[in-house]
Amino acid sequence: MQAPERPSSARLVLPHAGDPDSQRRTPEWKWQLARAVRSARELGEHLALSDAERAGAERAEREGFPLAITPYYLSLVDGSDPRCPIRRQVVPHVAERETTRGDLVDPLGEVAHEVAPDLVQRYPDRALVLATDRCAVYCRFCTRSRMVGGGSGTRSVEHLSAAFEWLAGHPEVRDVIVSGGDPLTLATDRLVAVIERLRQIESIETIRLATRVPVVLPHRITAELLSALAPFHPLWVMTHFNHPKELTPLARAGLERLANAGFPVMNQSVLLRGVNDDAAVLAELFRGLTRCRARPYYLLQADPAKGTGHLRTPIGAGIAIMEQLWGRLSGIALPKLVVDTPGGFGKVPIGPDYVIERRPGVTRFRTPRGVEVEYFDPAAE
Protein backbone atom coordinates (compact mmCIF):
# COMPACT_ATOMS: atom_id res chain seq x y z
CA MET A 1 0.00 0.00 0.00
CA GLN A 2 1.39 3.35 -1.00
CA ALA A 3 1.63 5.84 1.84
CA PRO A 4 -0.63 8.86 1.37
CA GLU A 5 0.83 12.26 0.69
CA ARG A 6 2.32 13.86 3.78
CA PRO A 7 -0.21 16.29 5.25
CA SER A 8 0.88 19.90 5.39
CA SER A 9 1.33 21.51 8.79
CA ALA A 10 -1.73 23.63 8.03
CA ARG A 11 -3.89 20.52 8.17
CA LEU A 12 -2.67 19.46 11.59
CA VAL A 13 -5.09 20.10 14.44
CA LEU A 14 -3.07 22.81 16.12
CA PRO A 15 -3.91 24.74 19.28
CA HIS A 16 -6.27 27.65 18.60
CA ALA A 17 -7.63 25.99 15.46
CA GLY A 18 -11.40 25.68 15.08
CA ASP A 19 -14.17 27.94 16.31
CA PRO A 20 -12.77 31.20 17.76
CA ASP A 21 -15.95 31.73 19.79
CA SER A 22 -15.52 28.28 21.32
CA GLN A 23 -11.99 29.28 22.31
CA ARG A 24 -13.28 32.29 24.22
CA ARG A 25 -15.87 30.20 26.08
CA THR A 26 -13.74 27.15 26.89
CA PRO A 27 -10.39 26.94 28.70
CA GLU A 28 -7.67 25.84 26.31
CA TRP A 29 -6.96 22.61 28.18
CA LYS A 30 -10.60 21.51 27.98
CA TRP A 31 -10.71 22.47 24.31
CA GLN A 32 -7.67 20.28 23.72
CA LEU A 33 -9.24 17.29 25.52
CA ALA A 34 -12.49 17.66 23.61
CA ARG A 35 -10.67 17.65 20.26
CA ALA A 36 -8.27 14.79 20.87
CA VAL A 37 -7.84 12.44 17.91
CA ARG A 38 -9.52 9.15 18.82
CA SER A 39 -9.99 7.18 15.59
CA ALA A 40 -7.95 5.72 12.77
CA ARG A 41 -9.85 7.89 10.30
CA GLU A 42 -9.01 11.10 12.16
CA LEU A 43 -5.40 10.04 12.61
CA GLY A 44 -5.07 9.35 8.90
CA GLU A 45 -6.26 12.87 8.14
CA HIS A 46 -3.21 14.28 9.91
CA LEU A 47 -0.47 11.68 9.47
CA ALA A 48 0.72 9.57 6.55
CA LEU A 49 0.10 6.27 8.33
CA SER A 50 2.08 3.17 7.53
CA ASP A 51 0.16 -0.08 7.05
CA ALA A 52 1.28 -1.22 10.50
CA GLU A 53 0.10 2.01 12.12
CA ARG A 54 -3.25 2.01 10.35
CA ALA A 55 -3.88 -1.59 11.40
CA GLY A 56 -2.85 -0.74 14.94
CA ALA A 57 -5.13 2.30 15.09
CA GLU A 58 -8.10 0.33 13.72
CA ARG A 59 -7.47 -2.37 16.31
CA ALA A 60 -7.32 0.24 19.09
CA GLU A 61 -10.80 1.41 18.09
CA ARG A 62 -12.25 -2.09 18.26
CA GLU A 63 -10.58 -3.62 21.30
CA GLY A 64 -8.04 -3.19 24.02
CA PHE A 65 -6.14 -0.01 24.72
CA PRO A 66 -7.76 3.07 23.12
CA LEU A 67 -6.26 5.85 21.04
CA ALA A 68 -6.21 9.51 22.10
CA ILE A 69 -3.79 12.30 21.14
CA THR A 70 -4.33 15.96 21.99
CA PRO A 71 -4.02 18.45 19.11
CA TYR A 72 -1.04 20.03 20.88
CA TYR A 73 0.89 16.76 21.18
CA LEU A 74 -0.09 15.74 17.66
CA SER A 75 1.49 18.98 16.41
CA LEU A 76 4.88 17.66 17.66
CA VAL A 77 4.66 14.56 15.47
CA ASP A 78 6.50 14.27 12.16
CA GLY A 79 3.59 13.63 9.81
CA SER A 80 5.44 11.37 7.37
CA ASP A 81 8.08 9.54 9.43
CA PRO A 82 6.95 6.48 11.44
CA ARG A 83 10.34 6.62 13.22
CA CYS A 84 9.50 9.99 14.81
CA PRO A 85 10.15 9.59 18.57
CA ILE A 86 6.94 11.42 19.48
CA ARG A 87 4.92 9.38 17.02
CA ARG A 88 6.24 6.05 18.34
CA GLN A 89 4.99 6.92 21.82
CA VAL A 90 1.34 7.56 20.92
CA VAL A 91 0.42 6.13 17.50
CA PRO A 92 -0.82 2.53 17.80
CA HIS A 93 1.11 -0.18 15.96
CA VAL A 94 0.01 -3.60 14.81
CA ALA A 95 2.80 -5.11 16.96
CA GLU A 96 0.64 -4.35 20.02
CA ARG A 97 -1.33 -7.52 19.31
CA GLU A 98 1.83 -9.62 19.78
CA THR A 99 2.81 -11.14 23.11
CA THR A 100 6.49 -11.63 23.87
CA ARG A 101 8.18 -13.64 26.59
CA GLY A 102 7.69 -12.01 29.99
CA ASP A 103 4.69 -9.88 28.96
CA LEU A 104 2.12 -9.36 31.70
CA VAL A 105 -1.35 -7.83 31.73
CA ASP A 106 -0.58 -6.33 35.15
CA PRO A 107 3.23 -6.04 35.16
CA LEU A 108 3.47 -4.30 38.55
CA GLY A 109 1.13 -6.67 40.35
CA GLU A 110 -1.22 -3.86 41.30
CA VAL A 111 -4.31 -6.04 41.40
CA ALA A 112 -2.60 -8.39 43.85
CA HIS A 113 -1.48 -5.43 46.00
CA GLU A 114 -4.84 -3.64 46.08
CA VAL A 115 -5.77 -3.08 49.73
CA ALA A 116 -9.01 -1.18 49.04
CA PRO A 117 -10.84 -0.27 45.83
CA ASP A 118 -8.44 1.82 43.72
CA LEU A 119 -5.78 1.85 46.46
CA VAL A 120 -2.53 -0.04 45.89
CA GLN A 121 0.20 -0.59 48.50
CA ARG A 122 3.49 -2.08 47.30
CA TYR A 123 5.81 -0.45 49.85
CA PRO A 124 5.43 -0.19 53.64
CA ASP A 125 5.43 3.62 53.81
CA ARG A 126 3.55 4.66 50.66
CA ALA A 127 0.42 3.91 48.67
CA LEU A 128 -1.09 4.68 45.27
CA VAL A 129 -4.57 6.13 44.72
CA LEU A 130 -6.06 5.57 41.26
CA ALA A 131 -8.26 8.67 40.94
CA THR A 132 -9.35 8.21 37.31
CA ASP A 133 -8.89 5.94 34.32
CA ARG A 134 -8.68 8.85 31.85
CA CYS A 135 -5.58 10.40 30.27
CA ALA A 136 -5.13 13.30 27.87
CA VAL A 137 -3.01 11.02 25.67
CA TYR A 138 -2.82 7.24 25.77
CA CYS A 139 0.86 6.28 25.60
CA ARG A 140 1.39 2.98 23.84
CA PHE A 141 3.85 1.74 26.51
CA CYS A 142 1.40 2.30 29.40
CA THR A 143 1.88 -0.03 32.33
CA ARG A 144 -1.85 0.23 33.19
CA SER A 145 -3.26 -0.41 29.73
CA ARG A 146 -5.40 -3.10 31.36
CA MET A 147 -7.60 -0.40 32.94
CA VAL A 148 -6.70 3.04 31.58
CA GLY A 149 -9.37 4.34 29.19
CA GLY A 150 -11.67 1.54 30.27
CA GLY A 151 -14.69 3.76 30.70
CA SER A 152 -15.06 3.93 34.49
CA GLY A 153 -13.93 7.55 34.51
CA THR A 154 -13.40 9.73 37.56
CA ARG A 155 -13.46 8.13 41.00
CA SER A 156 -15.57 10.30 43.28
CA VAL A 157 -14.61 11.03 46.87
CA GLU A 158 -17.47 8.78 47.91
CA HIS A 159 -16.15 5.94 45.75
CA LEU A 160 -12.70 6.38 47.33
CA SER A 161 -14.06 6.45 50.89
CA ALA A 162 -12.84 2.92 51.62
CA ALA A 163 -9.36 3.91 50.43
CA PHE A 164 -9.34 6.96 52.71
CA GLU A 165 -10.52 4.86 55.66
CA TRP A 166 -7.78 2.30 55.03
CA LEU A 167 -5.13 5.05 54.91
CA ALA A 168 -6.43 6.59 58.13
CA GLY A 169 -6.09 3.19 59.80
CA HIS A 170 -2.51 2.65 58.59
CA PRO A 171 -0.38 5.54 59.86
CA GLU A 172 2.78 3.82 58.60
CA VAL A 173 1.80 5.14 55.16
CA ARG A 174 3.33 8.61 55.00
CA ASP A 175 3.48 9.21 51.24
CA VAL A 176 0.53 8.92 48.83
CA ILE A 177 0.80 9.02 45.05
CA VAL A 178 -2.35 10.16 43.22
CA SER A 179 -2.34 8.63 39.78
CA GLY A 180 -4.67 6.89 37.35
CA GLY A 181 -5.08 7.60 34.42
CA ASP A 182 -3.93 11.17 34.90
CA PRO A 183 -5.26 13.13 37.88
CA LEU A 184 -4.61 16.51 36.22
CA THR A 185 -7.26 15.71 33.61
CA LEU A 186 -9.84 15.98 36.40
CA ALA A 187 -11.85 19.14 36.86
CA THR A 188 -10.10 21.29 39.45
CA ASP A 189 -12.85 20.94 42.07
CA ARG A 190 -12.81 17.14 41.76
CA LEU A 191 -9.03 16.99 42.10
CA VAL A 192 -9.08 19.36 45.06
CA ALA A 193 -11.74 17.22 46.77
CA VAL A 194 -9.44 14.18 46.61
CA ILE A 195 -6.36 16.08 47.80
CA GLU A 196 -8.32 17.81 50.58
CA ARG A 197 -9.62 14.47 51.85
CA LEU A 198 -6.08 13.04 51.88
CA ARG A 199 -4.82 16.07 53.80
CA GLN A 200 -7.36 15.32 56.54
CA ILE A 201 -5.36 12.14 57.32
CA GLU A 202 -2.70 13.39 59.74
CA SER A 203 -0.21 10.58 59.12
CA ILE A 204 0.12 11.46 55.40
CA GLU A 205 3.11 13.77 55.09
CA THR A 206 3.62 14.11 51.34
CA ILE A 207 1.30 13.79 48.36
CA ARG A 208 2.56 13.22 44.85
CA LEU A 209 0.66 13.89 41.63
CA ALA A 210 1.74 11.42 38.94
CA THR A 211 0.96 13.10 35.64
CA ARG A 212 1.95 13.40 32.01
CA VAL A 213 -0.13 16.53 31.55
CA PRO A 214 2.93 18.88 31.63
CA VAL A 215 4.17 16.96 28.56
CA VAL A 216 1.02 16.40 26.50
CA LEU A 217 -1.29 19.18 27.74
CA PRO A 218 0.79 21.97 29.33
CA HIS A 219 -2.15 24.37 28.93
CA ARG A 220 -3.60 22.68 32.05
CA ILE A 221 -0.92 24.20 34.30
CA THR A 222 -2.96 27.34 34.93
CA ALA A 223 -2.92 29.92 37.69
CA GLU A 224 -6.37 28.65 38.69
CA LEU A 225 -5.09 25.09 39.16
CA LEU A 226 -1.96 26.11 41.05
CA SER A 227 -3.77 28.46 43.43
CA ALA A 228 -6.39 25.78 44.13
CA LEU A 229 -3.74 23.19 45.02
CA ALA A 230 -1.28 25.44 46.87
CA PRO A 231 -3.06 25.22 50.27
CA PHE A 232 -2.30 21.49 50.36
CA HIS A 233 1.50 21.64 50.12
CA PRO A 234 3.77 19.75 50.26
CA LEU A 235 2.59 18.52 46.86
CA TRP A 236 5.14 16.99 44.52
CA VAL A 237 4.62 16.63 40.78
CA MET A 238 6.00 13.46 39.18
CA THR A 239 6.01 14.00 35.46
CA HIS A 240 7.08 12.03 32.45
CA PHE A 241 9.17 13.67 29.71
CA ASN A 242 10.82 11.10 27.45
CA HIS A 243 12.39 13.14 24.64
CA PRO A 244 13.85 16.66 24.29
CA LYS A 245 11.36 17.40 21.50
CA GLU A 246 8.70 17.44 24.24
CA LEU A 247 10.37 20.40 25.96
CA THR A 248 8.53 22.98 23.88
CA PRO A 249 8.17 26.62 24.97
CA LEU A 250 4.68 25.78 26.31
CA ALA A 251 5.96 22.78 28.27
CA ARG A 252 8.92 24.72 29.67
CA ALA A 253 6.60 27.52 30.75
CA GLY A 254 4.40 25.00 32.54
CA LEU A 255 7.36 23.58 34.42
CA GLU A 256 8.46 27.08 35.39
CA ARG A 257 4.97 27.87 36.71
CA LEU A 258 4.99 24.72 38.82
CA ALA A 259 8.40 25.51 40.27
CA ASN A 260 7.50 29.14 40.94
CA ALA A 261 4.35 28.02 42.80
CA GLY A 262 6.37 25.78 45.12
CA PHE A 263 5.73 22.39 43.52
CA PRO A 264 8.92 20.29 43.40
CA VAL A 265 8.95 18.57 39.99
CA MET A 266 10.55 15.16 39.50
CA ASN A 267 10.74 13.50 36.10
CA GLN A 268 10.51 9.79 35.38
CA SER A 269 11.59 8.94 31.84
CA VAL A 270 10.87 5.52 30.36
CA LEU A 271 13.64 4.03 28.24
CA LEU A 272 12.03 3.25 24.88
CA ARG A 273 13.41 1.68 21.73
CA GLY A 274 13.61 4.15 18.88
CA VAL A 275 12.57 7.02 21.12
CA ASN A 276 15.32 7.78 23.62
CA ASP A 277 17.67 4.77 23.71
CA ASP A 278 20.60 7.05 22.92
CA ALA A 279 22.94 8.77 25.38
CA ALA A 280 23.06 12.06 23.45
CA VAL A 281 19.26 12.28 23.30
CA LEU A 282 18.91 11.62 27.03
CA ALA A 283 21.70 14.06 27.92
CA GLU A 284 19.85 16.80 26.00
CA LEU A 285 16.59 15.88 27.75
CA PHE A 286 18.08 15.78 31.25
CA ARG A 287 19.93 19.06 30.81
CA GLY A 288 16.78 20.70 29.47
CA LEU A 289 14.70 19.48 32.39
CA THR A 290 17.27 20.73 34.88
CA ARG A 291 17.20 24.18 33.31
CA CYS A 292 13.45 24.19 33.94
CA ARG A 293 13.99 23.15 37.60
CA ALA A 294 12.58 19.68 36.99
CA ARG A 295 14.83 17.03 38.55
CA PRO A 296 15.56 13.93 36.45
CA TYR A 297 14.57 11.29 39.02
CA TYR A 298 14.29 7.90 37.35
CA LEU A 299 15.20 6.42 34.00
CA LEU A 300 12.82 3.47 34.05
CA GLN A 301 13.35 0.23 32.22
CA ALA A 302 10.02 -0.14 30.40
CA ASP A 303 7.58 -2.37 32.24
CA PRO A 304 6.72 -5.64 30.45
CA ALA A 305 3.12 -4.66 29.76
CA LYS A 306 1.42 -6.93 27.27
CA GLY A 307 1.94 -5.79 23.68
CA THR A 308 4.87 -3.44 24.34
CA GLY A 309 7.77 -5.70 23.34
CA HIS A 310 8.45 -3.64 20.19
CA LEU A 311 9.11 -0.58 22.39
CA ARG A 312 11.23 -2.15 25.11
CA THR A 313 15.03 -2.29 25.22
CA PRO A 314 17.33 -4.98 26.65
CA ILE A 315 18.53 -4.31 30.20
CA GLY A 316 22.06 -3.95 28.87
CA ALA A 317 21.09 -1.01 26.69
CA GLY A 318 20.16 1.14 29.66
CA ILE A 319 23.31 0.18 31.55
CA ALA A 320 25.48 1.09 28.55
CA ILE A 321 23.73 4.46 28.24
CA MET A 322 24.22 5.25 31.91
CA GLU A 323 27.90 4.42 31.61
CA GLN A 324 28.17 7.02 28.83
CA LEU A 325 26.41 9.63 30.97
CA TRP A 326 27.96 8.97 34.38
CA GLY A 327 30.72 11.44 35.13
CA ARG A 328 29.87 13.46 32.02
CA LEU A 329 26.56 14.87 33.19
CA SER A 330 25.99 16.90 36.35
CA GLY A 331 24.74 14.85 39.27
CA ILE A 332 21.60 16.98 39.52
CA ALA A 333 20.80 16.06 35.91
CA LEU A 334 21.49 12.33 36.25
CA PRO A 335 18.59 10.01 37.18
CA LYS A 336 18.76 6.54 38.66
CA LEU A 337 18.30 3.68 36.21
CA VAL A 338 15.76 1.32 37.79
CA VAL A 339 13.71 -1.75 37.03
CA ASP A 340 10.27 -1.96 38.61
CA THR A 341 10.38 -5.70 39.14
CA PRO A 342 7.56 -7.73 37.58
CA GLY A 343 4.87 -8.80 40.00
CA GLY A 344 4.95 -5.65 42.10
CA PHE A 345 7.93 -6.41 44.33
CA GLY A 346 9.47 -2.96 44.07
CA LYS A 347 12.07 -1.00 42.15
CA VAL A 348 15.71 -2.03 42.05
CA PRO A 349 18.56 0.21 40.83
CA ILE A 350 20.82 -1.08 38.10
CA GLY A 351 23.83 0.43 36.37
CA PRO A 352 27.44 0.07 35.40
CA ASP A 353 29.61 -1.82 37.88
CA TYR A 354 32.59 0.33 38.85
CA VAL A 355 33.89 -2.07 41.50
CA ILE A 356 36.72 -4.17 40.09
CA GLU A 357 37.83 -5.99 43.22
CA ARG A 358 37.03 -6.25 46.92
CA ARG A 359 39.41 -7.64 49.50
CA PRO A 360 39.59 -7.11 53.27
CA GLY A 361 39.89 -3.37 53.91
CA VAL A 362 40.40 -2.44 50.23
CA THR A 363 38.03 -1.77 47.33
CA ARG A 364 39.37 -1.19 43.85
CA PHE A 365 37.32 1.01 41.50
CA ARG A 366 37.28 1.83 37.81
CA THR A 367 36.43 5.53 37.50
CA PRO A 368 34.41 7.14 34.69
CA ARG A 369 37.77 8.40 33.34
CA GLY A 370 39.00 4.83 33.00
CA VAL A 371 41.50 5.15 35.85
CA GLU A 372 41.69 2.40 38.50
CA VAL A 373 41.95 3.57 42.11
CA GLU A 374 41.90 1.92 45.53
CA TYR A 375 39.90 3.00 48.55
CA PHE A 376 41.13 1.88 52.00
CA ASP A 377 38.73 1.31 54.86
CA PRO A 378 39.64 2.97 58.19
CA ALA A 379 41.48 0.87 60.74
CA ALA A 380 39.29 -0.95 63.21
CA GLU A 381 39.19 0.63 66.68
Task: Give the dihedral of Cα atoms 142, 219, 79, 140; nearest 10 deg.
Answer: 0
pLDDT > 50? residue 27: yes
The torsion angles phi and psi of 185, rounded to 5 degrees, stand at -85, -10
334 confidence band (pLDDT: 50, 70, 90):
very high
Distance (Å, whole) CA 59 – CA 122: 33
Counting the structural domains of the chain, the total is: 3
Helix, strand and coil in the chain, % to nearest 5: 35, 20, 45
In this prediction, residues 252-281 reach a mean pLDDT of: 98
Is pLDDT above 60 for 52? Answer: yes
* Confidence bin at 16 (pLDDT 50/70/90): very low
336 and 355 in a single domain? The answer is no
The neighbouring-strand residues paired with 239 are: 267
Res 1: pLDDT: 36
Q: Is the pLDDT of residue 178 over 80?
A: yes
- Confidence class for position 381, pLDDT limits 50, 70, 90: confident
Both 157 and 298 in one domain: the answer is yes
In percent, how much of the chain has pLDDT > 70?
A: 93
What number is the average pLDDT over the span 60-79? 94
Question: Do both 241 and 173 map to the same domain?
Answer: yes
Ranking 20-34, 142-156, 221-235 by mean pLDDT, the lowest is 20-34
Q: Residue 233: which domain range?
A: 114-344
Q: Could you give the dihedral angle defined by the CA atoms of residues 237, 247, 311 and 341, in that order, rounded to the nearest 10 degrees?
A: -20
What is the separation of C-alpha 163 from the centre of its chain, rounded to a whole number of angstroms?
24
pTM for this structure? Answer: 0.91
Q: Using 50, 70 and 90 to split pLDDT, how confident is the model at 286?
A: very high
Q: 340 and 237: one domain?
A: yes
- Domain boundary (63, 97, 131) is at 97
pLDDT at 18 over 70: no
> What separation in angstroms does the CA of 316 have from each of 49, 120, 306, 336, 339?
32, 30, 21, 15, 12
257 has pLDDT over 70: yes
Q: Which of 154-158, 201-205, 303-307 has the lowest mean pLDDT?
A: 154-158
Which residues, 6 or more positions from 235, have their beta carbon under 8 angstroms from its beta carbon? 195, 206, 207, 208, 209, 229, 263
Given a contact cutoff of 8 angstroms between Cβ atoms, the answer to whether 185 and 133 are in contact is no
Per-residue pLDDT, 121: 98
What pLDDT score does 150 carry?
A: 79
- Work out the burial of residue 272: count CB atoms within 10 Å of its CB; fewer than 13 is exposed, 13-18 middle, 19 or more buried: buried
Of 65, 97, 129, which one is at a domain's C-terminal end? Answer: 97
Q: Are 67 and 92 in contact (CB under 8 A)?
A: yes
DSSP per position, 39-53: SHHHHHHHS---HHH
> What pLDDT is recorded for position 248?
98
* Mean of pLDDT over the chain: 93
Residue 1 within any structural domain of the chain: no
- Distance of alpha carbon 24 from alpha carbon 380, whole angstroms: 73
Check whether residue 57 and residue 138 sit in a common domain: no
Give the per-residue pLDDT at 9.
37
pLDDT tens-place string over residues 302-327: 999 999 999 999 999 999 999 999 99
Q: At 197, phi and psi to the nearest 5?
A: -65, -40
CA proximity to 64, closest of 304, 307, 272, 303: 307
Structural element, H or E, at residue 329: none
Same domain flag for 162 and 291: yes
Distance CA 78, CA 274 (A): 14
Residue 85 and residue 128 in one domain: no
DSSP string, 230-258: GGG-SEEEEE---SGGG--HHHHHHHHHH
Residues 33 and 125 in one domain: no
Assess whether pLDDT exceeds 60 at residue 55.
yes
Residue 254 confidence (pLDDT) above 70: yes
Residue 10 has pLDDT above 90, yes or no: no
Give the model's pLDDT for residue 20. 45
d(CA 155, CA 132): 6
pLDDT at 64: 76
What confidence category does residue 63 fall into, taking pLDDT thresholds of 50, 70 and 90?
confident
Kindly state whether residue 129 falls inside one of the protein's structural domains.
yes
Are 72 and 136 in the same domain?
Answer: no
In this predicted structure, what is the pLDDT of residue 17?
41
Residue 12 scores a pLDDT above 70: no
Catalytic machinery residues: 122-123, 126, 135, 139, 142, 144, 303, 340, 347
Residue 210 is predicted with a pLDDT of 98
The band of 153, judged by pLDDT with boundaries at 50, 70 and 90, is confident
Kindly state whether residues 217 and 360 are assigned to the same domain: no
pLDDT at residue number 276: 98
Residue 61's DSSP bridge partners are: none
